[in-house]
């Protein structure tokens, strides 16, 4: 089968396109013939070595396609089913062996393209807005990178919950996308003192929660934006890893900090189906609008990595497999 893989860590030059063996589904796995793969920052971390994986390694953690065959012990899924999954590496390929506990059926109201574009980022936005810090009417949330794939979905879910969103973005074009998604206010963080702007917008009190996927360049300043007993939700590191933090900086306003991950918030079949079900239903009802920025053929995965690392995206990137 055709696939993208790496034999060493590094820049986009280490991505190789070539033939790899078709995997055999083990017990409690299915073999999926992929149609689309999602492209995510975690893929670039696996490639670069920021997040360690055994080498040589297949890249890609999100895919949609059709079940080709099933391994022993599999129930609830059969060959021919349309499925989507995340958090199982190897989706930059024509076939992937996927644990059945990561699979979700694609509803009749959705297609492969939408499914691959919404699974990881949609469920991430869901657990952030509904479980890590359950937003409600009257809350104010600061959302960084609000025009990106996850950020824009999170803005929409926050607005659906009745929360007021202050969004940070890099350009005026991205600010417009954040406002279209439901942000009440936007801040160009490269041009403005965004801490001062947040304080002014909240009457000096600060926000209930900050959702930060940027990391190194925003983390400490984000803490200054929180109100008394506010929560810092750090869920990504697009600008680099956050260094050691003196926990005494939390004491002034009795702050909370959490570093959630999707595996911990889709730990059971019930939780996985709940989150994916809500995301697909809201898309079908028109309440949640996907923005697919662009798609590339599988062999151009390096271009997709170059784009996502260059902060040039305003939505989801996809690889077209078939």
Q: Please choose, from the candidates 170, 145, 173, 140, the residue with its C-alpha nearest in 3D space to the C-alpha of residue 158.
A: 140
CA-CA-CA-CA torsion sign (69, 63, 93, 262): negative
pLDDT score, position 218: 85
Contact 95, 6 (CB under 8 A): no
User: Could you tell me the residue ranges of all domains in the chain?
Assistant: 2-120+267-320, 137-259
pLDDT score, position 237: 76
Q: 97: how many CB neighbours lie within 10 A of its CB?
A: 18
pLDDT score, position 314: 77
What is the rounded distance in angstroms from the CA atom of residue 218 to the CA atom of residue 33?
A: 40
pLDDT score, position 311: 72
What is the rounded distance in angstroms from the CA atom of residue 147 to the CA atom of residue 153?
A: 9
CATH architecture of 2-120+267-320: Alpha-Beta Complex (3.90)
**Could you say which DSSP state residue 205 is in?**
S
**Could you say which DSSP state residue 250 is in?**
G
Q: Going residue by residue through the chain, which has 322 residues, state the pLDDT in tens, using 9 for 90 and above.
A: 999 999 999 999 999 999 999 999 999 999 999 999 999 989 999 999 988 999 999 999 999 999 999 999 999 999 999 999 999 999 999 999 999 999 999 999 999 999 999 999 999 999 999 999 999 999 999 999 999 889 999 999 999 999 999 999 989 999 999 999 999 999 998 888 999 999 999 999 999 999 999 888 788 999 999 999 999 999 987 777 777 888 999 998 999 999 999 999 999 999 999 999 999 999 999 999 999 989 999 999 999 999 988 876 778 999 999 8
What's the half-sphere exposure (Cβ side, CA atoms, 13 Å) at 191? 8
pLDDT score, position 315: 81
Instruction: Record the pTM.
Output: 0.94
Query: How many whole angstroms from its chain centre is CA 269?
Result: 19
Q: Does domain 137-259 have CATH number 3.10.20.70?
A: no
What is the rounded distance in angstroms from the CA atom of residue 255 to the CA atom of residue 264?
A: 22
């Amino acid at each position: 089968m055709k696939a993208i893989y790496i034999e060493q860590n590094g820049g986009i030059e280490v991505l190789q396109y070539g033939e790899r063996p078709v995997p055999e589904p083990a017990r409690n796995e299915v073999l999926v013939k992929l149609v689309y793969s999602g492209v995510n920052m975690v893929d670039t971390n696996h490639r670069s070595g920021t997040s360690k994986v055994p080498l040589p390694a297949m890249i890609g953690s999100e895919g949609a396609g059709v079940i080709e065959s099933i391994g022993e012990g599999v129930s609830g899924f059969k060959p021919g089913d349309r499925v989507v999954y995340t958090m199982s590496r190897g989706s930059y390929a024509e076939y992937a062996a996927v644990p059945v506990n990561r699979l979700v059926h694609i509803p009749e109201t959705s297609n492969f393209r939408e499914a691959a574009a919404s699974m990881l980022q949609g469920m991430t936005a869901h657990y952030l807005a509904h479980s890590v810090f359950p937003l409600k009417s009257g809350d104010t949330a600061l959302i960084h990178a609000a025009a990106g794939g996850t950020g824009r979905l999170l803005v929409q879910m926050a607005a659906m919950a009745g929360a007021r969103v202050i969004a940070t973005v890099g350009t005026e074009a991205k600010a417009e996308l954040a406002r279209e998604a439901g942000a009440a206010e936007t801040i160009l963080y490269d041009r403005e003192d965004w801490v001062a702007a947040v304080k002014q917008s909240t009457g000096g009190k600060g926000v209930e929660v900050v959702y930060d996927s940027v990391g190194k360049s925003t983390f400490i300043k984000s803490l200054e934006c929180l109100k008394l007993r506010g929560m810092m939700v750090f869920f990504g590191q697009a600008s680099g890893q956050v260094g050691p933090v003196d926990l005494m900086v939390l004491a002034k306003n009795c702050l909370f900090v959490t570093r959630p991950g999707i595996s911990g918030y889709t730990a059971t079949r019930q939780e996985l189906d709940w989150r994916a079900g809500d995301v697909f239903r809201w898309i079908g009802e028109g309440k949640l609008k996907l923005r697919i920025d662009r798609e590339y053929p599988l062999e151009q995965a390096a271009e997709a990595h170059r784009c996502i690392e260059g902060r040039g995206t305003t939505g989801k990137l996809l690889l077209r497999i078939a």
